[in-house]
Amino acid sequence: MPTRTLTSSFLTTSWSETEAIPPLADQSSVHIKLGTEEAKFSDPEWNGTGLGQAGTSEPSVWHIVGHMLFKGEFLGKKGSFVVQALSTYNHGKVKGTWTILSDSATIKGHGKFHVDQAGGSEPTECELTVES
């Protein structure tokens, strides 16, 4: 089946986090948090919103795993799908990979994303390779 790689970006419009599990007394440097994100995709072939939640562990480098529901228009079709994301946050830089969950869509795909200064107005660069 032929594949196509889309490159785009999204802007995080909202991010909040809460302590999911209180720190353990014997491991006080480790924190488990739950983050909630809203994002805006503004590309002609990848246009819509993303709503996601992610769990993070916070030693010196955050390790993040989560899911994002994309709703909007993708490759000329309106609809939604869910991606599972795995990433790290280190000194303001985020790098990660994501995969479209097969039960959430009629397309299959995987890709990567990165931002050099998270928490500001810089968009997150991303790509997604899909089977068409």
Number of domains in the chain: 1
- C-alpha span between 40 and 62 (Å, rounded): 23
Q: Please list the rounded mean pLDDT of every run of 10 residues in the chain (132 residues).
A: 90 86 64 88 94 83 91 94 94 92 92 86 91 78
Element (H, E) at 57: strand 46-57
The pLDDT assigned to 109 comes to: 95
The pLDDT assigned to 59 comes to: 67
Expressed as residue numbers, the domain containing 85 is: 3-20+29-131
Q: Read off the CATH number of the domain in which 39 is found.
A: 2.40.350.10
The pLDDT assigned to 52 comes to: 95
The pLDDT assigned to 110 comes to: 97
Q: Could you say which DSSP state residue 121 is in?
A: S
Q: Are 98 and 84 in contact (CB under 8 A)?
A: yes
User: How much of the chain is helix, strand and coil, in % rounded to 5?
Assistant: 0, 70, 25
